[in-house]
Chain A
Amino acid sequence: MSNDQDRELVARALRGDGRAFRDLVGRHHSVAYAVVRAILGHQRLDDVDDVMQHVYLKAHQGLANFRGEAKFSTWLYQIARREALDVVSRKRADAVSIDEIEIASRAEDAPDVATDTRDTQQHVERAMAELDESYRTAIELRYMAEKSYEEIAELMRLPVGTVKTYVHRGKLELKRILSRPAWRERKGAMGA
């Protein structure tokens, strides 16, 4: 049913119906956003908006090439992934210096008091940046895009069991990162 709706929206969008295109990408927006966030990571958050605009521009321009053999979400996921990886490879040199700054700030400049959910989310966000990209993508698709393991497996073209392993190991890794002394100090400050 969902695929039929996508196909119908694709056909209408190809006939020039802008509203149909909006509805079409709106249905899969969280997937595209999650994968872009996962690949760009915490350090390149400023690039997320630009990449997302490119993703939808590319999707719009290439819509005629969508044959319907794969799901639209998979097709969009591939575009989003390609666009994000393109930015990462173009900015690799810059990223090294940003990473160095990030590490330095972690060591010297721990925040005084982190009292609200927003701060906790930022800590998790920064810890996410240290995860392997596959773990990060699986976790973002699971939580940010609210996808089932089966859907993630289809998007990432992996067995379901591997996706589950990525999500679980990713969470173990996150907890390990957040348990480091520097992170625990912040937790202590939260409790103070």
Chain B
Amino acid sequence: MNQFKEMDCERIEATLPAFLGRDLGAEEAAAVAAHIDSCDRCRESLAAFAMLEHTLVARRSEVPPVDGFLPNLKTARVRSGFGARCFRAVTSIPGVAIVLVMWAVLLIGRFNDRIALAIADHTLAERAAAFAKRGLDAMVGVAGGDVWTLTAVYGALAIGLIVSAGALTMRLVRD
């Protein structure tokens, strides 16, 4: 008889969380309620579950306000659309490398004579200078060929270099 009672209590205890949460069907809930009325052990169990439920509910107060976790929206912009893709491209390592190569071509092309004289290995230096000169000529040709356009190209590349290097540094530091 005691063994049956023990089994009964174990079965009833397993249903107590659902009983407390009103998740049992009417018939089963009535059977559990009847058992609890006549069983001290299960009544204690129910009280323990109710206490646990109360403690779990009280933990709601532990949720801190959202404001403490929000990013600085002035610096963290939403990355979307064409502008964001351009920004990511410019601030990527290949983006910075391309700008640096273009700068090298411009500078070597512009000062090719002086560079050739300054380097002992004239053949290599002349080859590099000639290559850069062709690159510069091509860039100037594409840009229209006058001195103002060339100045604009230098200016744009200077700004590009500063922005790319600065933004890349910020990304590396932040990540």
Q: Which residues of chain A are within 8 angstroms of B68 by Cβ–Cβ distance?
A: 49
Binds B, one of A1-9, A19-27, A89-97, A106-114: A19-27
Given the contacts A52-B69, A53-B69, A56-B71, A64 and B78 also touching, CB distance less than 8 Å: yes
B52 within 8 A of A: yes
B147 within 8 A of A: no
- Dominant SS among interface residues on chain A: helix
A18 within 8 A of B: yes
Q: CA–CA, A21 to B74, complex, Å?
A: 12
Which residue of A18, A143, A168 contacts B17 across the interface (Cβ within 8 Å)?
A168
B118 within 8 A of A: no
Binds A, one of B58-66, B138-146, B149-157: B58-66
Q: Are B63 and A172 in contact (CB under 8 A)?
A: no
B21 within 8 A of A: yes
Size band of the A side of the interface? 35 or more
Q: CA–CA, A38 to B77, complex, Å?
A: 29
B5 within 8 A of A: no
Q: Are B81 and A64 in contact (CB under 8 A)?
A: yes
Given the contacts A56-B70, A144-B62, A61 and B56 also touching, CB distance less than 8 Å: no
Q: Which residues of chain A are within 8 angstroms of B84 by Cβ–Cβ distance?
A: 64
Q: CA–CA, A124 to B66, complex, Å?
A: 24
Q: Are A29 and B52 in contact (CB under 8 A)?
A: no
Q: CA–CA, A179 to B41, complex, Å?
A: 14
Q: Which residues of chain A are within 8 angstroms of B67 by Cβ–Cβ distance?
A: 22
Q: Are A49 and B69 in contact (CB under 8 A)?
A: yes
Closest to A24 in B: B66
A40 within 8 A of B: no
Which residue of B13, B56, B78 contacts A139 across the interface (Cβ within 8 Å)?
B56
Q: How many A-B residue pairs have CB under 8 A?
A: 100
- Dominant SS among interface residues on chain B: helix
B93 within 8 A of A: no
**Interface digits, B25-61 against A, CB 8 Å rule (1 contact, 0 not)?**
0000000000000000000010011001101111110
List the 5 shortest-distance A-B pairs measured between CB atoms, nearest first: A64-B80, A18-B73, A168-B17, A143-B56, A29-B66
Q: CB within 8 Å of B: which residues of A?
A: 13-14, 16, 18, 21-22, 25-26, 29-30, 33-34, 49, 52-53, 55-57, 60-64, 117, 120-121, 124-125, 139, 142-146, 164, 167-168, 171-172, 174-175, 178-179
Please name 22 pairs of A and B residues whose Cβ atoms are closer than 8 Å in the assembled complex, sorted by A: A21-B70, A22-B66, A25-B70, A30-B60, A33-B64, A52-B69, A53-B69, A56-B69, A57-B76, A61-B78, A61-B79, A63-B78, A63-B80, A139-B56, A142-B56, A143-B57, A146-B60, A164-B23, A168-B23, A172-B13, A174-B52, A178-B48
Further 6 A-B residue pairs, CB within 8 A, beyond A16-B77, A21-B70? A13-B78, A25-B66, A64-B84, A171-B52, A172-B17, A175-B49
Q: CB within 8 Å of A: which residues of B?
A: 13-14, 16-18, 21, 23, 45, 48-49, 52-53, 55-60, 62-64, 66-71, 73-74, 76-81, 84
